[in-house]
Structure 1
Amino acid sequence: MTAREAEGSTSVNTRENGSGEEPVIRDNRKIDPETGKARETGNGEAEQAEQAEAADAAEQAGSSSAAGAAAADSADAAGSDLASVELAAQLAERTADLQRLQAEYSNYRKRVERDRAVVKEMAVAGAVAELLPVLDDIGRARDHGELTGGFAKVGESFEAALAKLGLTSFGTKGEPFDPMVHEALMHSYSPDVTEPTCVEILQSGYRIGERVLRPARVAVAEPEESTPADN
């Protein structure tokens, strides 16, 4: 407490009346000299009003902050949902790309394996085709009874080795003539056939798998031509 507050301050005003001037004394001291307690100022109600306004402003600010927080939470939730949708779309796209790559790789592997098989078959076919004249000689020697003794064993081993490589012979007497696998060296007519027929196998044909190395050379007979009856 300062000396000024303890002693207090007074203001003296004068007012005019009919009899003269009368001093008006106002005690502006903030401390009551008798009780020693602070006096309530005349503007207490204003201060209370200001405090109430400040409380209302704080409450409004709190409500605005809560609303802003709720809006922020809602925006975060919406952003999280959008991110989840985008992530799911990216995952589906990557999965489709992986499946497409797997299918392409599977097709590529099958194509490579097929090409390898074709190249191998062509290589074997080219090598075996050069040995077909040897097979013809062995066959003729067998037909004439000249394939005997050790030479017979060699011929059988040679034929077995070529069979392991996939070589097979075709061409049988009496089978229908097929220009895709038969080569007609002789042609005749016969009443014993009803369609073009291989009546003699002059040279056997050979194939590896579905590839024909050499057509069977045959003699073909066709049905006799019918003549119109005399009138």
Structure 2
Amino acid sequence: MNELNEKESQAVEEETLQAEEEHKEEVVVEGNAAESEEEAAEDEGTAAQKEIEDLRNRLLRTQADYDNFRRRSREEKEAAAKYRSQAVIEALLPVIDNFERALLVKPETDEAKSLLQGMEMVYRQFQDTLKNEGVEVIETVGQTFDPHLHQAVMQVEEPEFESNQIVEELQKGYKLKDRVLRPSMVKVNA
């Protein structure tokens, strides 16, 4: 019986050792699983953090795009208001030219003088209205030639003028605020 007890005792010991080893393996596996779960949670947290940062950057870019759009729209509206009368004024420039030619006529009768005075009054009123809209005549004679403001149609040699200086204006030029409506046609000294 002793032998039987010894065998049983040995079998119990082996089972105990085996159970302990299995328990150790389970603890290691559980530990590894816990570590894997922690790493997975950290990876998820990092991924979520990256996604949050990406969404934040996209939001900031969208907000900047919207602000730029609003600024451009405001500038376009201001420019449209600033130059709203440009098309009408450009259409009236030939009328102004004809008015000025008519005013150069020398009247011979009292009736013609009276008509000329009336035309001068209308012309001055017309000029005042254009000035109130921001229309200016481009200065020419005696000025240095500027290709942005003047159109040289002739080049002459005049000793009393410096080189590249405007000698004569052939047709008036006009600006609307800071925009050239029509450049002045001029003769330039060589």
The TM-score bracket by the shorter chain reads 0.5 to 0.7
Highest RCO, 1 vs 2 (Cα 8 Å, sep ≥ 6): 2
Instruction: Give the CA deviation at 1:112.
Output: 5.2
Deviations 1:10-47 (A, max 9, x none): xxxxxxxxxxxxxxxxxxxxxxxxxxxxxxx7655554
> For residues 108-127 of structure 1, what are the structure 2 equivalents within 5 Å?
124-127=85-88
More moved, 176-185 vs 106-115: 106-115
> Is the contact between residue 168 and residue 187 of structure 2 (CA under 8 Å) also seen in structure 1?
yes
Instruction: Give the CA deviation at 1:71.
Output: 1.4
> Is the contact between residue 201 and residue 217 of structure 1 (CA under 8 Å) also seen in structure 2?
yes
Q: What letter matches 1:218 in structure 2?
A: V
Structure 1 unmatched ranges of 5 or more = 1-40, 223-231
Match of 2:19 in 1: 58
Q: 2-side partners of 1:114 and 1:208: how far apart?
A: 18
More moved, 119-128 vs 189-198: 119-128
Match of 1:170 in 2: 138
- Aligned pair count reads 178
Structure 2 unmatched ranges of 5 or more = 107-115
Match of 1:207 in 2: 175
Match of 2:184 in 1: 216
* Residue 150 to residue 180, structure 1, CA distance change in 2 (3 Å): closer
* Residue 177 to residue 56, structure 1, CA distance change in 2 (3 Å): closer
Q: 1-side partners of 2:159 and 2:188: how far apart?
A: 13
C-alpha RMSD over aligned residues:
4.2
> Is the contact between residue 167 and residue 189 of structure 2 (CA under 8 Å) also seen in structure 1?
yes
Instruction: Give the CA deviation at 1:56.
Output: 3.3
Q: What letter matches 1:146 in structure 2?
A: Q
Instruction: Give the CA deviation at 1:213.
Output: 1.5
- State the TM-score, normalized to the length of structure 1: 0.54
> Is the contact between residue 141 and residue 147 of structure 1 (CA under 8 Å) also seen in structure 2?
no
Q: 1-side partners of 2:132 and 2:143: how far apart?
A: 28
The sequence identity of aligned pairs, in percent, is: 23
Please state which structure has a larger fraction of its residues in helix: 2
Deviations 1:169-214 (A, max 9, x none): 2123211234543245666432212214223335431123553211
More moved, 171-180 vs 101-110: 101-110
